[in-house]
Amino acid sequence: MINNLRLLNPLAPIKTPNEARTAARIGAVGLFVQAGAAVQGAIMSFVTMDALVADMREAMSAQNLPPESAAIANAMVGPSMIYGLIGFSLFLALVSLILGFIQWRKLTKLIPLLLFLLMAYGFLSELKLLFTHPVGMIVVPIWQRALGWTVSVAVLVMLWAGFRGGDRLRKLKAIESTPPTSVNPPVS
């Protein structure tokens, strides 16, 4: 197992079909970790619903909106919004689980690549939000945000390994299916 950790290194070569299969399955493990993180986020949102609603309303009032806009914004923030977020998190967890099982069986390069790109976009968007709108970031405690970022980076690394493994498997299969060429051409 410890020898397989080198497959997480984006510069380490993947030489054998077994290494390629293992790397592709690391991408599936990344999807399972992502599903677990989404479920954990949904549970935390449910448990701390009242505090989240209060923090969101406080963040809305700190934005100096006109009175009628502030009233509409405060009316929108409520438990139903948190339930929507919980439902969306659970939906994402289900999709991640399904795609993880597909990746585990099919060992493709497409699933890890697409999800890597989507997660990288989300991660960079959240970093941009941190620097451009710090008021919107006060809802979630910094320790929880740091843990989420750590999990996101780990999942990104695993998804990239899955892409590399799936791509290498495809290339190795293409090499195996190519008929050998003779060194000496037939004499006519």
Q: What pLDDT digit, counting tens, does each position of 136-158 carry?
A: 556 667 788 888 889 999 999 99
Rounded to an integer, what distance in angstroms lies between the CA atom of residue 43 and that of residue 108?
A: 31
**Contact status, residue 79 vs residue 57, Cβ threshold 8 Å:** no
Stretches in the chain below the pLDDT threshold 70: 1-2, 62, 133-140, 180-188
Rounded to an integer, what distance in angstroms lies between the CA atom of residue 13 and that of residue 21?
A: 13
Q: Give the count of beta carbons closer than 10 Å to the beta carbon of residue 84.
A: 10
**Contact status, residue 100 vs residue 32, Cβ threshold 8 Å:** yes
Rounded to an integer, what distance in angstroms lies between the CA atom of residue 176 and that of residue 188?
A: 29
User: For a pLDDT cut of 70, what percent of the chain falls above it?
Assistant: 89
Rounded to an integer, what distance in angstroms lies between the CA atom of residue 154 and that of residue 132?
A: 25
Map the chain to HEC letters.
CHHHHHHHCCCCCCCCHHHHHHHHHHHHHHHHHHHHHHHHHHHHHHHCHHHHHHHHHHHHHCCCCCHHHHHHHHHHCCHHHHHHHHHHHHHHHHHHHHHHHHHHHHCCCHHHHHHHHHHHHHHHHHHHHHHHCHHHHCCCCHHHHHHHHHHHHHHHHHHHHHHHHHHHHHHHHHHHHCCCCCCCCCCC
pTM of the model: 0.82
Q: What pLDDT digit, counting tens, does each position of 41-51 carry?
A: 899 889 988 88
